[in-house]
Structure 1
Amino acid sequence: MDPLETRELRYFVAVAEELHFGRAAELLGMAQPPLSRAIQQLERRLGVLLLERTRRGVALTGAGEVLLDEARATLDAAAAAARRTRRAASPRSRLVLAAKAAGSHELLRKLLDAYAAEPDAAEVEVVLCGIGEETRLLRDGRADAALVHPLFSSLAGFDSEELLTEDQVAVLPAEHPLAARPFLSMAEVGDVPDLPMPRWPHPDGSYPPGPGPEIRDPSQLAQLIALGRTLAVIPASARAWLWTAHTAVPLTDAPPVTTHIAWPPHSRSRALAGLIRTATRL
């Protein structure tokens, strides 16, 4: 069988995500009949049925679900290759390091300072992002390396080195009665009627159910804590971004958080290798 083409995979992903040939064709900027023919040709080449077509619409078969996962990964890898190739062609050596906003602050500062002191250091652009976004930036080539907390993001598919393990703290409004406590338990912070736990979005953009506020970024979280609307459980090093309206209280039974530096396993970048060496020395 001939190798699958990225064009075919892009067509299939559009139909599989929309579950509607008309909407998928509109999204791709093409007519529906050639899109239908392309999917039929793909099914013939693979010798499997990818989509169940009924009067009520389109549904993925078991084989289609497998191809959807594989196709997304392949398209991400192709996009990542293009981005990293363009970055490598830049006249100035440059690395993009992704990290969760307000997380690993002290570690990030030390890493940047130590790497900048290296004789052949590249320019490092730091991209701060929300929970889980750092691995997506790494996977699609918008970042060369990332500081990752496996408690919140998967390291699957990456090479990584462990850099730091730390405890977690509860961040509360400074005037709240619990802020005066010397320490708290997870059960106590999880059951505060006037401070419901915040809700962060899933990778698909949806939010889990619950009474807490929907949070998009750390600055929004910081303001809502200061206003007495929520609390947060964060790594102890994230105290660096706390306001005077916040108080951090140690947690006795929260799972420790480990920070890893992660990168694509196939990378051959000398600049990236230097950054990794510096990080593991800290």
Structure 2
Amino acid sequence: MELRQLRYFVAVAEEGGFGRAAERLGIVQSAVSQQIRRLERAWGVELFERTTRHVRLSGAGERLLPEARAVLAAADHTARVAADIAAGADGVLRLGGIHGPGDRINRVLAALASAAPRLQVRLHRLPVARRLEAVRTGELDAALVRALPDEPGAAPGLELLPLWSDPLYAALPEQHPLSAAPEPHLEQLARLPLRLAPREANPPFHALVTGAFRAAGLQPVQGPEFSDLQATLTEIGTALEPSWTLFYEVRGLPTVPRVAVRPLAGLTVATSLAVRPGPPGPALRHLLGSLHAVAPDQLPGKGAAQVSSSRSSPLAR
């Protein structure tokens, strides 16, 4: 069975004859008759009662006519949806997501919903390495990432679209003299033991921090183990020996007794969009447009990501 045979069947039924159906379809009458015969043989029923004076639906044809119309309507609807998907007005966008800070991600999604109301967004929370691999394999269409440098080799096989930058924060004992500085410099904190998550917990963020020390000609002093952010901040506030850690905001800045949180002078963490090379598809173009609407001064281009094993830590987002 072919869709054109169903169209011919419906046309003959509605026009009451093969000649008028052929005129409506813009083809010769013999082609209509031939395809109807093939359809009848395929189904094993007579669709029309034919005499020299008229053509009318048989009982089988009368029963099958609404089914044929439903199939054609479904096929036409599917074609319209496919056209909308090709234009980016419909479809599914599979996006690797991150948390916060603020409502920026929500504003991006709101702008996307306004630009393409029928575009469905599937947001996936994955560790950064898994997130990037999912974009490479096509499991995700794009992924937001933090702390990856916008340079060759940072995400092999992908392009990084720089989006925006957010400050890094230092957390240190409230009674430490450096807590009085509104924006302490890395050089000031360099001799204080640093609680930094191990490299395997989040390679991009670890590289960002150690790279900042190298660029300043400094070597971090290794402090006690970093577990998750809440536990680490609690220990910083209660330990006898001073230490510090650094992080980026996810859901607001934490407030912990006896701990001071200060923005680090001159240090930021970049957020980028990881995509496969080549021209973006229609759904991805809508996403890029929405990102541009939220961060108009920082997008264009193709570009940048931190996670620990603890889901409660901003270092794990």
TM-score under structure 1 normalisation? 0.50
Distance 1:117 1:175, change over 3 A: farther
| Residue number in structure 1 paired with 2:91 | 93
Choose which of 105, 126, 129 in structure 1 pairs with 2:123: 126
| 2:237 equivalent to 1:224 | no
8 Å contact from structure 2 (residues 195, 223) kept in 1: yes
How many residues in Structure 1 have an aligned counterpart in Structure 2?
181
Q: Does the aligned pair in 1 maintain the 2:116–2:286 contact within 8 Å? A: no
In the alignment, is residue 252 of structure 1 matched against residue 265 of structure 2?
yes
Tell me: CA distance 1:164–1:180, structure 2 relative to 1, closer, same or farther (3 Å): same
Alignment of 1:255-274 (within 5 A): 256-266=268-278, 269-274=281-286
Distance of 2:130 and 2:175 partners within structure 1 = 32
Q: 1:224 to 1:96 in 2, by over 3 A?
A: farther
Structure 1 residues 263 and 187: alpha-carbon distance in aligned structure 2, compared to 1, 3 A threshold: same
Q: Which residue number in structure 1 is paired with residue 136 of structure 2?
A: 139
Q: Within 5 A, what are the aligned runs for 1:15-54?
A: none
Matches within 5 A, 1:152-171: 154-171=154-171
RMSD: 3.7
Letter in 1 for 2:93: L
Percent of counterpart pairs with the same letter?
Answer: 22
Note the residue ranges of structure 2 that are not aligned, 5 or more in a row. Answer: 1-84, 208-220, 295-317
Amino acid at match of 1:185: H
Q: Quote the offset at 1:150 in angstroms.
A: 4.8
Distance (Å, rounded) in 2 between the aligned partners of 1:110 and 1:175: 38
| 1:252 CA drift (Å) | 1.9
Change in Cα spacing, 1:135 to 1:184, as seen in structure 2 (3 Å) is same
Do the aligned residues in 1 keep the contact of 2:101 with 2:252 (CA within 8 Å)? no
Q: Does 1:113 align with 2:126?
A: no
C-alpha distance in 2 between matches for 1:172 and 1:112: 35
Aligned position for 1:198: 197
- Supply the distance in 2 between the matched residues of 1:94 and 1:174 (Cα, whole angstroms): 48
Q: Does structure 2 retain, via aligned residues, the 8 Å contact 1:96–1:125?
A: yes
Q: Could you tell me whether the CA contact under 8 Å between 2:135 and 2:275 is conserved in 1?
A: yes
Match of 1:49 in 2: none
User: What is the match of residue 58 of structure 2?
Assistant: none
- Deviation, 1:275, is 1.0
- Mapped partners of 1:152, 1:103: distance in 2: 19
SS at match of 2:140: coil
Task: Return the TM-score normalized by structure 2.
Answer: 0.46
C-alpha distance in 1 between matches for 2:134 and 2:174: 35
Whose RCO is larger (CA < 8 A, sep 6+)? 2
Counterpart position of 2:186: 186
Cα distance between partner residues in 1 of 2:199 and 2:97 = 17
Contact 2:142 2:275 in 1 (8 A): yes
- Three-state SS of the structure 2 residue aligned to 1:197 is coil
8 Å CA contact 1:95–1:123 kept in 2: the answer is: yes
Deviation at 1:175, TM superposition (A): 6.8
1:141-200 Cα distance to aligned partner (Å, 9 max, x none): 34221122354682443234322134322234667664443121113334323x533324
Counterpart-to-counterpart distance in 2, 1:179 and 1:239: 22
CA separation in 1, counterparts of 2:224 and 2:149?
19
Instruction: Answer yes or no: is 1:280 the counterpart of 2:292.
Output: yes
When residues 99 and 239 of structure 1 are mapped into structure 2, their CA distance, relative to the original with a 3 A threshold, is closer
CA distance in 1, matches of 2:266, 2:182: 14
Between Structure 1 and Structure 2, whose CA radius of gyration is higher? 2
C-alpha distance in 2 between matches for 1:139 and 1:175: 48
